[in-house]
Amino acid sequence: MTSPRSKAIAIGPEEDRKLVKAIERGGAVSTPLSDASALIWSAGPSDFPASLPDGVRWVQLPSAGVESWFDARAFEAHPSVEFTSAAGAFAATVAEHALALLLAGVRALPEHLQARSWEQEHLIGRVGTLRGATVTIVGAGGIGRALIPMLAALGAEVVAVNRSGRPVPGAIRTLPVSALDEVWSNTDHVVVAAPATPATRHLVGSAELARLPRHSWVVNVARGSLVDTDALVEALRTESIAGAGLDVTDPEPLPDGHPLWRLTNAIITPHDSNPTVLRENAYAEHVAANVARFVAGEALIARVDPTQGY
Amino acid sequence: MTSPRSKAIAIGPEEDRKLVKAIERGGAVSTPLSDASALIWSAGPSDFPASLPDGVRWVQLPSAGVESWFDARAFEAHPSVEFTSAAGAFAATVAEHALALLLAGVRALPEHLQARSWEQEHLIGRVGTLRGATVTIVGAGGIGRALIPMLAALGAEVVAVNRSGRPVPGAIRTLPVSALDEVWSNTDHVVVAAPATPATRHLVGSAELARLPRHSWVVNVARGSLVDTDALVEALRTESIAGAGLDVTDPEPLPDGHPLWRLTNAIITPHDSNPTVLRENAYAEHVAANVARFVAGEALIARVDPTQGY
């Protein structure tokens, strides 16, 4: 990644005007795949070429999570190609969504929305504040880092959890994932924003939920598998925590009739934290930034590391 | 307000341990009213003394809005006394509530909360973002000013409207109230945070609502009378705007069976932006700050100006 590279970059599987412009903003030109040194992809793995021309050295994928690409063995099939995900591209909008879910919960909006009368004795004491509250963000990647200043502006104190424990800017404390046990009884709320890997499966399970305070909201904007759904349903049903804001679930899609649909302290947004209407522009910005780096021979943003699983 | 004053301050109508401590933190001592040079009040106007000892020169009132004190002619009855409200004391929690209502609306949480199935075609395109959105805050007092950095952290552009048009820190533009007409077709969302005065009554009416874009949310955390409720109901019913988040209504309490209760694009929180559990601590902080200023002979925070009506 030290020498400038070709400025011929392909788009697949279909032409896309926003991506053509993004490539141009990045200082390159869009070109057929046969002549290209890179490929900007805007679909899933199923249509992805089984083999790529030798000239292709970089492939940009359109999603932040790349589990399906691992499942499709795409990285193994192209060992000499550098893949980048769109991790970070959608960070701000997903972080905003996480804040919306958390604030709605803390401010008891689901209960308010059910009310049909001004006198709401059952709501007394239910409205809380993020001011002075401790919010732990598990996973301090793009989403977590984008969320920190939003929470800070509300006067919350953010504890970040990442792999290394290396301090995350804006967090009052950063814990390594090895110290995750310390989190649950020392936080008011939890936002799950970590990648889905075998190691993070059911990171929030019954033991963890049991140690959270009763006023806690758990927000998951990462992947459903990070939370043990059965344990969560039980915690919500017994009100051992205050509620959950879920943009992702396990299983997903959440089947009709699933208990989560009936729990009034669950806010479910079916993978809506980053809707199409918002993501196209965000992906184009990400592509422009990475193309500029590719052309300049600089390190690309959001490199997929097959050994880490994301 | 230039010379230091007595440090003897009374509390009424009842002793209150938090307020005693607040007075002490401010550098004074609590004392019976007969010996006091100031009175910290923690109730409404009905129990307020018809006459005050001559020594009393300052009265601290516990609410941010003081209409009921005007109605009770309290300021006229005590022309030589300086009154301060609690304006600003609850600004941060009310601003947080306004943000919760606005974000919940923009992220379509009311519609999501009604859903019982993952496939939600009616929600496609309904989830928006505050990033890059223009949010106009009408009334740049304590609440408005506290809200600006919260919105800025989400990437929104804030337009502030105040009486003078004097630039408000953090706002990309500040308009004088005389230019309010310009607001409606040049904003994405509106937060009403102005004091209730004859001049601000029905500040948001049918003409104003008609000029807002269809994706607009209107949030009112000030007083119900600032919004024409009938016009709002009509705008919500016809979906000429996207929704309304109301912590206050007119009439208030909102009667059972009122159309607003049935509109799914209205989020109503019955004066819950600043619940008791949060306000006691906030009031005590405000009292401590004002006592310190009183003792030091400095200008007090949130002086009531009877000529302005707040």
pLDDT tens column, A84-103: 999 888 899 999 999 999 99
Q: Could you confirm whether B271 is annotated as catalytic?
A: yes
Q: Taking residues B241-260, report their average pLDDT.
A: 97
Average pLDDT, chain B: 93
Inspect the interface and report whether the beta carbons of B117 and A155 lie closer than 8 Å.
Answer: no
* Active-site residue (options: B271, B280, B285, B303): B271
Distance from CA of B82 to the nearest CA of A (A): 31
Among A106, A127, A249, A274, most B C-beta atoms within 10 A, so best to mutate, is: A127
- Set of chain A residues whose Cβ sits within 8 Å of the Cβ of B273: 127
What lies within 8 Å, CB to CB, of A233 at 6+ separation is A259, A260, A263
Torsion, Cα A67 A73 A74 A75, to 10 degrees, reads 90
Nearest of A108, A157, A149, A154 to residue A133 by alpha carbon? A157
pLDDT at A227 over 80: yes
Question: Among B92, B100, B273, whose Cβ lies nearest the Cβ of A155?
Answer: B92
pLDDT at A245 over 70: yes
Reported as a pLDDT band with limits 50, 70 and 90, residue B69 is: very high
Which residue intervals of chain A bear CATH 3.40.50.720?
A: 8-89+276-296, 91-268
For residue A282, what pLDDT is reported? Answer: 87
What lies within 8 Å, CB to CB, of A218 at 6+ separation is A189, A190, A192, A204, A209, A212, A227, A232, A241, A243, A244, A245
Residue of A nearest to B269 (CA): A112
Q: Taking residues B265-288, report their average pLDDT.
A: 90
Contact B273, B94 (CB under 8 A): yes
- Set of chain B residues whose Cβ sits within 8 Å of the Cβ of A92: 131, 155
Question: Among A109, A149, A277, whose Cβ lies nearest the Cβ of B100?
Answer: A109
Q: Could you confirm whether B234 is annotated as catalytic?
A: no
Would you tell me how many other CB atoms lie within 10 Å of the CB of residue B80? 8
Q: Taking residues A205-209, report their average pLDDT.
A: 98
- Set of chain A residues whose Cβ sits within 8 Å of the Cβ of B155: 92, 96
A&B contacts, CB < 8 Å: 149
pLDDT in tens, B86-137: 988 889 999 999 999 999 999 999 999 999 999 878 888 889 999 889 999 9
Question: Among B107, B149, B268, whose Cβ lies nearest the Cβ of A97?
Answer: B107
Inspect the interface and report whether the beta carbons of B103 and A106 lie closer than 8 Å.
Answer: no
Q: Taking residues A180-194, report their average pLDDT.
A: 96
Inspect the interface and report whether the beta carbons of A123 and B272 lie closer than 8 Å.
Answer: yes
For residues A26 and B64, give the distance between their C-alpha atoms in angstroms, rounded to a whole number.
52
For residue A214, what pLDDT is reported? Answer: 97
Q: Taking residues B220-227, report their average pLDDT.
A: 96
Residue of A nearest to B251 (CA): A118
Lowest mean pLDDT among A3-12, B69-78, B149-158, B295-304: A3-12
Output the six-digit token pair for A88: 């970070």
* Active-site residue (options: B145, B189, B223, B279): B223
Inspect the interface and report whether the beta carbons of A103 and B100 lie closer than 8 Å.
Answer: yes
Edge to edge, the sheet with strand A266-268 lists: A173-176, A157-162, A134-138, A189-192, A217-220, A243-246, A266-268
pLDDT at A3 over 80: no
ipTM above 0.95, yes or no: no
For residue A2, what pLDDT is reported? Answer: 38
Inspect the interface and report whether the beta carbons of A99 and B101 lie closer than 8 Å.
Answer: no
Inspect the interface and report whether the beta carbons of B96 and A131 lie closer than 8 Å.
Answer: yes
Question: Among B96, B118, B272, whose Cβ lies nearest the Cβ of A270?
Answer: B118
The helix/strand/coil state of B204 is: strand
Distance from CA of B16 to the nearest CA of A (A): 20
Share of chain B above pLDDT 70, in %: 98
pLDDT in tens, B185-214: 999 999 999 988 898 999 999 999 999 999
For strand B134-138 and strand A266-268, is the pairing parallel, antiparallel, or unpaired? unpaired
- Set of chain B residues whose Cβ sits within 8 Å of the Cβ of A152: 153
Question: Among A115, A123, A272, whose Cβ lies nearest the Cβ of B123?
Answer: A272
Residue of A nearest to B124 (CA): A275
- Set of chain A residues whose Cβ sits within 8 Å of the Cβ of B107: 96-97, 100-101, 269, 272
Number of alpha carbons in the 13 Å side-chain half-sphere of residue A197: 13
For residue A6, what pLDDT is reported? Answer: 76
The helix/strand/coil state of A162 is: strand
For residues A308 and A73, give the distance between their C-alpha atoms in angstroms, rounded to a whole number.
14
Question: Among A103, A124, A269, whose Cβ lies nearest the Cβ of B103?
Answer: A103
Which architecture, in CATH terms, is A8-89+276-296?
3-Layer(aba) Sandwich (3.40)
Inspect the interface and report whether the beta carbons of B131 and A96 lie closer than 8 Å.
Answer: yes
Share of chain A above pLDDT 70, in %: 98
Edge to edge, the sheet with strand A29-30 lists: A29-30, A8-12, A38-41, A58-60, A82-84
Contact B199, B185 (CB under 8 A): no
For residues B183 and A240, give the distance between their C-alpha atoms in angstroms, rounded to a whole number.
46
Contact A267, A246 (CB under 8 A): yes
Residue of B nearest to A95 (CA): B154
Would you tell me how many other CB atoms lie within 10 Å of the CB of residue A256? 10
Distance from CA of A77 to the nearest CA of B (A): 34
Residue of A nearest to B270 (CA): A118
Reported as a pLDDT band with limits 50, 70 and 90, residue A1 is: very low
pLDDT at B1 over 50: no
Question: Among B112, B150, B270, whose Cβ lies nearest the Cβ of A269?
Answer: B112
- The residue among B5 and B77 whose pLDDT is bigger is B77
Distance from CA of A268 to the nearest CA of B (A): 6
- Return the H-helix or E-strand segment holding A134: strand A134-138
CATH fold label, A91-268: Rossmann fold (3.40.50)
pLDDT at B276 over 60: yes
pLDDT at B307 over 90: no
Reported as a pLDDT band with limits 50, 70 and 90, residue A38 is: very high
Q: Could you confirm whether B223 is annotated as catalytic?
A: yes
Distance from CA of A41 to the nearest CA of B (A): 23
For residue A194, what pLDDT is reported? Answer: 94
Distance from CA of B59 to the nearest CA of A (A): 28
Reported as a pLDDT band with limits 50, 70 and 90, residue B278 is: confident
Reported as a pLDDT band with limits 50, 70 and 90, residue A307 is: confident
Reported as a pLDDT band with limits 50, 70 and 90, residue A5 is: low
pLDDT at B9 over 80: yes
Inspect the interface and report whether the beta carbons of B153 and A149 lie closer than 8 Å.
Answer: yes
Average pLDDT, chain A: 93
Q: Taking residues B260-286, report their average pLDDT.
A: 91
Q: Which residues of B118-152 are buried (b: 16+ CB within 10 A; e: fewer)?
A: bebeebeebbbbbbebbbbbbbbbbbbbbbbbbbb
Q: Taking residues B45-55, report their average pLDDT.
A: 94
For residue B228, what pLDDT is reported? Answer: 98
- The residue among B280 and A41 whose pLDDT is bigger is A41
* Active-site residue (options: B111, B182, B252, B280): B252
For residues A109 and A117, give the distance between their C-alpha atoms in angstroms, rounded to a whole number.
14
Which residues of A are known to be catalytic?
Answer: 223, 252, 271
pLDDT at B222 over 60: yes
Residue of A nearest to B130 (CA): A96
Inspect the interface and report whether the beta carbons of B272 and A127 lie closer than 8 Å.
Answer: yes
For residue B5, what pLDDT is reported? Answer: 58
For residues B33 and B18, give the distance between their C-alpha atoms in angstroms, rounded to a whole number.
18
